[in-house]
Structure 1
Amino acid sequence: MNDTTDPAAVARRITDRCRQLDLSEDSLAHRAAMAPRYLVHLLEAGPTFDPGGFVRIAAVLGLSRDELLTGRQDAPPGQSGPGPRPRLLDLTEAECWDLVGTHGVGRIALPVRPAPVVYPVNYVVDHGSFAYRTGESAGTAPAEGAALSFQVDHIDEYLGRGWSVLALGSAHYVDDPEDLSRLSGLPGAAPWAGGDRPRWVRVRPDEITGRRLVTG
């Protein structure tokens, strides 16, 4: 049975959303034009019992019917909770580089005022460094030589497993024409955000560490 027809999964989703909105069960029933006792019965019976009732509930909760029945497709990771007997294992430097691959999406953390900021960027790996494209005055354009961190991770929601790699280093702009040409030809070089991003920033790690989350 999948989440679309599993009454327990749908009821849990409704309870979580009500908690987010600070909405009581009685208030939900009133706004969905049903008696509180009928709402309880509806949650126990599931979406196939009264589809129209669940459409009204979804509207009250500010969700589409599909979001209510199957969950948000753009929800942040971690909605499923931890897996059985989770534990963290340290990764070697070689394992870290192997996991980040040749290209992907990571997060750049820059030391600006009044507080550090973190931006997602798509990157390429080149000769023991990360490189990404940015605009001249974009938020992802650090000062030359700025100390920063670069993080890449992966989470398997179904299994409750994943890994995270963190690189600490400094930022340097790439100006050599041969390097620029080579970087631009690598898989994953095109900026996902689009727009004019003519500058390449290279992050040279002084330290790279990682951890793997395993279960069972």
Structure 2
Amino acid sequence: MHDTPDPVAVARRIAERSGRLGISEVELARRAAMAPRYLRHLLEAGPGFDPGGFVRIAAALDSSRDELVSGRADAPPGHGGPGPHPRLQNLTEAQCWELVGTHGIGRIGLPVEPGPVVLPVNYVVDRASFAFRTAEHSTAAPADGAAVSFQVDHIDEYLGRGWSVLALGPAHQVTDPVELERLAGLPGASPWAGGDRPRWVRIRPEEISGRRLIAG
């Protein structure tokens, strides 16, 4: 069940937190007011065995029980580790477009000085292209015709599987008033970052590819 914490993952988070703070297992047991042997038993048994004990462990680590048991809500994906027997599967172009859907969050890679920059943007899919809104003088507003990359992915942290799609092609500013009005009416067109973002950028991929991570 998804609601049952994995004792191995919980023990790993506690060990990582202890390591960052420079606290040994013996010192952690002392701070949590329990015998080292009992602490080891708790880590092996999991939070369901003694919920109050994990509250004391969390307090000793200047953390919260929820963070130790479930992980940080804002942590990047990948903390759960790979699933059983992982393998990669190449995606067809049609599968790539199906996975990115009609809109979502992607990352645009821009060729700027002194080096490439990757920025998150919320996008819409429109006629085999990606389009997004940005401010007039934003870093995410590439020069017209600039070669860029655009990447979208999804990770299932619990099952250890997911997919990633990468598109390569030129970016162009949308200037036609009719097109601008139509794009603004598409689902997901409102910029998450808010503010005045009148500029629409379209990326029509010359190449799109993807891979799916399968487990089990």
Please say whether Structure 1 and Structure 2 have the same fold, judged by a TM-score greater than 0.5: yes
**1:158 aligned onto 2:135:** no
Q: Counterpart in 1 of 2:26?
A: 26
Distance 2:2 2:91 in 1: 35
Distance 2:44 2:97 in 1: 49
TM-score by length of 1: 0.87
Which residue identity is paired with 1:90?
A: N
Tell me how far 1:185 sits from its aligned partner: 0.2
Give the direction of change, closer, same or farther, for the CA distance of 1:145–1:16 in structure 2 (3 Å limit): same
Give the direction of change, closer, same or farther, for the CA distance of 1:199–1:93 in structure 2 (3 Å limit): same
Gaps of 5+ in 1: none
Distance 2:16 2:149 in 1: 34
Q: Say whether the 8 Å CA contact 1:149–1:166 is kept in structure 2.
A: yes
Distance 1:164 1:8 in 2: 27
Q: Deviations over 1:148-189 (max 9, x none)?
A: 100011112232221111001111111110000000000010
Give the direction of change, closer, same or farther, for the CA distance of 1:82–1:46 in structure 2 (3 Å limit): closer
Tell me how far 1:73 sits from its aligned partner: 2.1
Give the direction of change, closer, same or farther, for the CA distance of 1:21–1:137 in structure 2 (3 Å limit): farther
Matched length:
216
Distance 1:211 1:46 in 2: 35
Q: Counterpart in 2 of 1:175?
A: 175
Bigger shift: residues 107-116 or 168-177: 107-116
Q: Counterpart in 2 of 1:139?
A: 139
Q: Counterpart in 2 of 1:54?
A: 54
Give the direction of change, closer, same or farther, for the CA distance of 1:212–1:21 in structure 2 (3 Å limit): same
Q: Counterpart in 2 of 1:89?
A: 89
Q: Counterpart in 1 of 2:12?
A: 12
**1:40 aligned onto 2:58:** no
Q: Say whether the 8 Å CA contact 1:4–1:70 is kept in structure 2.
A: no
Distance 1:184 1:2 in 2: 38
Distance 1:215 1:5 in 2: 20
Which residue identity is paired with 1:199?
A: R
Tell me how far 1:54 sits from its aligned partner: 2.6
Secondary structure, in 3 states, of the residue corresponding to 1:205?
A: coil
Which residue identity is paired with 1:28?
A: L
Q: Counterpart in 1 of 2:117?
A: 117
Which residue identity is paired with 1:124?
A: V
Tell me how far 1:200 sits from its aligned partner: 0.5
Q: Counterpart in 2 of 1:214?
A: 214
Q: Say whether the 8 Å CA contact 1:3–1:70 is kept in structure 2.
A: no
Q: State the identity as a percent.
A: 74
Give the direction of change, closer, same or farther, for the CA distance of 1:34–1:139 in structure 2 (3 Å limit): farther
CA RMSD of superposed structures (Å): 2.4
Q: Say whether the 8 Å CA contact 1:4–1:69 is kept in structure 2.
A: no
Distance 2:97 2:135 in 1: 27
